[in-house]
Chains A and B, each alone.
Chain A
């Protein structure tokens, strides 16, 4: 059998941002610039941007408690035919429970518009739902205080559910 060495993951960009509402907006544009040239069709770039924005908003609000002095870390990597965006906050287990409590929470969040219209649910709560539906795979991990969500999107082919 012939073994072909898999290329090492390539970091496309890495940056931090202050935990202030609205900071997801320039960050998602920066992520989009970092994946330009990888062949992602424009509709999939739009989907990635939406997922990244929601994950950063969760990191700012639930992970870092809107404390500007605690940064959100964003890393964009190309790994084979995937783009992976890792977003890390310092919320640890607390962030996990509040926003994205591991993969189970990512998969459990299922808002119902018509329950919301009847008043049985609050009007918000769409973030995890959007994340799950916008990218090909999502994985969440907590290591001490560090709480990271990985968003993966293949640079070719259609989206399907899965894990990084």
Chain B
């Protein structure tokens, strides 16, 4: 499998809410990158984890599967996931797959942070 064309950097917002900034292609190949970012964000310790998809170029079914794996981990820790920055196309895919029922979707970082605080 080719090297993932993605970066996932972790920031802390107000009240220590972690956010992972996703830039590039989200495919099955980037699962180690996501899981490293998840650990850097505190793993399941934070009650909320925000995913910033503002830099997303491409996501395929393998990437969706990877998000499901992340959701399983978060669910075990009773952690809430929230997403923002999704394009209309990927919002539609979140709706089709019902990911939007498991990951709260917001229009902006501020809106997601308000929900998480």
The chain A residues found within 8 Å of chain B, CB to CB, are: 20-22, 24-25, 43, 46-47, 50, 53-54, 57, 111, 113-114, 116-117, 119, 122-127, 129-130, 133
Contacts and interface: CB of A to CB of B under 8 A. Distances in A.
B68 A117 contact: yes
B61 A130 contact: yes
A81 B33 CA distance: 43
28 contacts: A20-B2, A21-B1, A22-B1, A22-B2, A22-B27, A50-B60, A53-B60, A57-B60, A57-B61, A57-B62, A111-B97, A113-B68, A113-B98, A113-B102, A114-B98, A116-B72, A117-B68, A117-B72, A119-B72, A123-B65, A124-B62, A124-B65, A125-B61, A126-B61, A126-B64, A127-B60, A129-B97, A133-B96
Pairs A-B, 3 closest by C-beta atoms:
A124-B65, A123-B68, A126-B61
Interface size class of B (residues with CB under 8 A): 20 to 34
Given A116-B68, A116-B72, A123-B68, 6 more contacts: A57-B62, A114-B102, A124-B28, A124-B65, A126-B97, A133-B96
B71 interface: yes
A122 B60 CA distance: 16
Nearest to B60: A53
A46 B89 contact: yes
B71 A117 contact: yes
Interface string B69-111: 1011001000000000001110011001111011000000000
B93 A130 contact: yes
Contacts of A54: 60-61
A125 B65 contact: yes
